Amino acid sequence: MTAQTDIPSRMADLISGLRENGVTDAAVLMALESLPREMFLPDLFRDRAYDDVALPIGHHQTLSQPSVVGRMTQALELSDRMKVLEIGTGSGYQASVLARLCRRLYTIERHPALLKDAEERFQRLGLVNITTRLGDGSLGWPEQAPFERIMVTAAAADVPEVLLGQLGEGGIMIVPVGLDENDQHLVRVRRTADDIETDDLGPTRFVPLINGGVED
């Protein structure tokens, strides 16, 4: 049997594995199930698209593990009325999951080649509610702020103040914090009327958020 004909059963196995791994939100599972993950990978790694592992996407960047994408997405408590910002478009996989669940997604990537490939994928998938920007995501997207949700998919030294400033009241931001690869935590920040609450969602491992301009 070729890898191609196997896809529905491999997807079914992946989704049941995710359920066992703490991804329980039905809408998030449906969004993951609706996306052909092999489409976001270089040819070399396509046959591993339905394994719950992180995989290289070139330029020293990685596509996150599906269970991590699932847990981060459900921690964001999205609704289809929300305006969301993602930092670190990468392959566009996480962006596509978010776009299926929110009203409009804004996503920023500093690497032109990665962004171009991601934009082509959004088009092929018919995801018309995504707006992209080539630039430094650590500056956020001030013209479009405030956002109801923000997801950072690269690790920051601390919760980024600039992004916190672009999070609306009642908003939630998910961000990997810690520059030491072996001591990094996923942090959920909630902005209430007069306070900021933070929750530690456990250890994680992301490539660093680069401060500075666009890659050339």
Q: Which are the catalytic amino acids?
A: 64
Restricted to residues 13-52, the positions that interact with ligand SAH (CB under 6 A) are none
- Alpha-carbon distance values, 116 to 97, 120, 195, 206, 212 (Å): 18, 6, 38, 22, 20
100 binds ligand SAH (CB under 6 A): no
CB of 3 to ligand SAH, least distance (A): 21
CB of 15 to ligand SAH, least distance (A): 18
Looking at residue 43, the DSSP 8-state letter turns out to be: G
Among 64, 67, 73, 166, the residue binding ligand SAH under the rule CB under 6 A is: 64
CB of 169 to ligand SAH, least distance (A): 25
Identify the residue whose tokens are 């020293």: 60
- Alpha-carbon distance values, 50 to 20, 180, 207 (Å): 15, 28, 22
What x-and-dash track marks residues 149-178 binding ligand SAH by CB under 6 A?
Answer: ----xx------------------------
110 binds ligand SAH (CB under 6 A): yes
CB of 83 to ligand SAH, least distance (A): 18
Restricted to residues 125-144, the positions that interact with ligand SAH (CB under 6 A) are 136-138
Write the burial class of residue 4 (CB in 10 Å: 0-12 exposed, 13-18 middle, 19+ buried).
exposed
93 binds ligand SAH (CB under 6 A): yes
Which window, 105-113, 162-170, 178-186, 190-198, contacts ligand SAH (CB under 6 A)? 105-113
- Alpha-carbon distance values, 187 to 28, 52, 177 (Å): 19, 22, 7
CA–CA dist 75, 162 (Å, integer): 21
Could you tell me if residue 107 is left (phi over 0), alpha (psi between -120 and 50 degrees) or otherwise beta? beta
What are the backbone angles phi and psi of residue 63, rounded to the nearest 5°? -90, 125
189 binds ligand SAH (CB under 6 A): no
Kindly list the residues in this chain that would bind ligand SAH in the complex (CB under 6 A).
61-64, 87-88, 90-91, 93-94, 108-111, 114, 136-138, 153-154, 207, 209-210
